């Protein structure tokens, strides 16, 4: 079916967060890590705004603000970075891994953070793991920040002995979702299940030729490529959104491990049935409704597949920031051929089409939601779909409810 899909590539003004935003969920996931952004005051304001929900807790991220002298190359940024890192580690001795996050390419910030991380790690004798990666808006979009972070961790992962096997799930998941997946795989007979990122960076899982890798998020393509270089085998599969996606995802991993189809079916039968029943109430509301996705989170394609096939929604336009075929071919095969797919964004052109289409719901970034609501269009914040636990059987109805709420709100406002 993918050959029948029409994919249009647009280039122009785009509106989305940069890769620094990934710190918001990564620092909550990896409890022994700290993220130090090397950037401007604008970067500091972004982090404060994007992570404002954590204002009552001491966050594990900060910004080393670059001054004009730094950007002009008039100051030794390495000396200043050393001072900031020393003060930070003295104040927070609980830090096990320190991420140095570049807000711009090294040519702009006048600082090679990769070399700085190596130097700082060596100076502390391995007491603290210091890793650098880029969250630059010139290089990464929104969720790509997680991909660059995890890619930087792959060289740090220990080697899996050649005689052992493991299943590695890649992409940040809520702890409750991890526990559910672990339990299902254990019931299938897969006892060694690891996650990247782990809950503690100190517990990085091993990787080697006996590692089977499956992605839980569609934006970790470079991480999977790095794991392949370490000898791992990547399992292609749709993503675990909804009953169908979760079933196909679990089945692909179990089949690659050697679990029989009968055992897989027996393990997933009850949770799949409960999820199907729970979804029914939301399908009544969502079926027949027209939906457009503006490019933002990279979750657009698997979410559209779920909404079309399991909730009966009509896909009008499906915008994605970039189309990584390595990650999304299995999902593209499940989309209806009539859907209009746009890779990239020319914002004004896309908004013109949106106003002509007038879908029942538009999934978009925070910056566009309020203006579109003012025009009478019902919107859904794409960022909420990144933060919420929506993968797996137990969360299928919760995922559908996230799309039902804007429609219910609109109905109440009309009445």
Average pLDDT over residues 3-31: 86
What is the residue-wise DSSP string for 63-116?
A: EEEPPHHHHTT-S-HHHHHHHHHHHHHHH-TT-SEEEEEESS-HHHHT--HHHH
Query: For helices 113-123 and 77-91, what crossing angle results, to 10°?
Result: 50
pTM value surpassing 0.85: yes
Q: Is 14 annotated as a binding residue?
A: no
CATH assignment of 2-13+278-414? Answer: 3.40.50.1980
DSSP secondary structure letter of residue 18: B
What pLDDT sits at residue 58?
61
What is the layout of strands, in order, in the sheet containing 233-234? 193-196, 166-170, 211-215, 233-234
List pLDDT tens digits, range 345-373. 999 999 999 999 999 999 998 889 999 99
pLDDT tier at 70, thresholds 50, 70, 90: very low
Domain map of the chain by residue range? 2-13+278-414, 19-140, 166-266
Angstrom CA distances, 392 to 65, 181, 244, stand at 40, 8, 10
Q: 2-13+278-414 and 166-266 share one CATH topology?
A: yes
Task: Kindly tell me if the per-residue pLDDT of 179 is higher than 60.
Answer: yes
For the chain, the straight-line distance linking the first and the last C-alpha, in angstroms and rounded, comes to: 42
Q: Is 18 annotated as a binding residue?
A: yes
Compute how many other C-beta atoms are within 10 angstroms of the C-beta atom of residue 52. 9
Mean pLDDT value across the chain: 90
Class of the CATH domain delimited by 19-140: alpha beta
Rounded average pLDDT over 271-288: 96
- Band (pLDDT 50/70/90 cuts) for residue 109 is low
Q: Is the domain 166-266 a CATH 3.40.50.1980 member?
A: yes
DSSP count for the chain of H helices, then E strands: 17, 14
Q: Does residue 43 surpass a pLDDT of 80?
A: no
1 falls in which pLDDT band (50, 70, 90)? very low
Residue 56 confidence (pLDDT) above 60: no
149 is annotated as contributing to ligand binding: no
């Amino acid at each position: 079916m993918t050959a029948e899909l029409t994919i249009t590539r647009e280039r122009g003004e785009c509106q989305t967060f940069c890769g620094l935003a990934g710190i918001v969920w990564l620092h909550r996931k990896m409890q022994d890590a700290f993220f130090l952004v090397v950037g401007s005051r604008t970067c500091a304001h972004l982090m404060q705004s994007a992570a404002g929900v954590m204002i009552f807790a001491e966050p594990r991220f900060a910004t080393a603000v670059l001054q004009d002298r730094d950007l002009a190359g008039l100051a030794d940024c390495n000396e200043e970075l050393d001072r900031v890192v020393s003060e930070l580690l003295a104040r927070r001795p609980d830090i096990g891994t320190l991420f140095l996050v570049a807000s711009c390419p090294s040519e702009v910030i006048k600082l090679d953070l990769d070399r700085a991380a190596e130097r700082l790690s060596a100076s502390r004798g391995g007491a603290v793991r210091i890793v650098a990666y880029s969250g630059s808006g010139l290089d990464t979009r929104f969720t790509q920040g997680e991909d660059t972070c995890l890619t930087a961790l792959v060289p740090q992962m220990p080697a899996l002995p050649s005689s052992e096997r493991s299943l590695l799930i890649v992409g940040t998941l809520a702890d409750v979702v991890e526990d559910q997946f672990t339990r299902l795989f254990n019931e299938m007979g897969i006892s060694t299940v690891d996650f990247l990122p782990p809950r503690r960076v100190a517990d990085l899982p091993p990787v080697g030729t006996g590692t089977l890798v499956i992605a839980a998020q569609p934006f970790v393509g470079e991480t999977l490529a790095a794991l392949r270089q370490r000898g791992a085998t990547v399992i292609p599969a749709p993503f675990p959104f909804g009953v169908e996606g979760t079933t196909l995802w679990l089945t692909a991993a179990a089949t690659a491990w050697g679990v029989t189809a009968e055992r897989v079916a027996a393990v997933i039968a009850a949770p799949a049935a409960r999820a199907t029943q729970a979804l029914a109430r939301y399908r009544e509301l969502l079926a027949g409704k027209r939906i457009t996705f503006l490019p933002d989170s990279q979750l657009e394609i698997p979410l559209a597949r779920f909404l079309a096939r399991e909730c009966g929604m009509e896909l009008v336009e499906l915008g994605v920031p970039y189309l990584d075929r390595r990650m999304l071919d299995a999902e593209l095969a499940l989309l209806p051929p009539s859907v209009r797919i746009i890779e990239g964004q020319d914002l004004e052109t896309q908004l013109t089409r949106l106003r002509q289409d007038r879908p029942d719901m538009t999934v978009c970034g925070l910056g566009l939601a309020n203006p579109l609501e003012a025009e009478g269009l019902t919107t859904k914040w794409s960022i909420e779909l990144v933060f919420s636990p929506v993968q797996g059987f137990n969360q299928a109805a919760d995922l559908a409810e996230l799309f039902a709420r804007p429609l219910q709100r609109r109905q109440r406002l009309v009445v």
